Amino acid sequence: MAWKGPGAAERELSELLSARGVEVSWAKIRRWREFGALPWGGRRSLGQGVGSVSELAADTVLVAEALARAAVTKKRLEKVVLRIFTVHPDCDEAFAAT
Share of the chain above pLDDT 70, in %: 84
Task: Please give the helix or strand (H or E) that residue 81 lies within, else none.
Answer: helix 77-86
What CA–CA distance (Å, rounded) separates 17 from 84?
17
Phi, psi of 86, rounded to the nearest 5 degrees? -120, -20
Structure confidence at residue 19 as a pLDDT band (50, 70, 90): very high
Segments making up each domain of the chain, as ranges: 8-86
* Stretch among 5-14, 35-44, 45-54 having the lowest mean pLDDT: 45-54
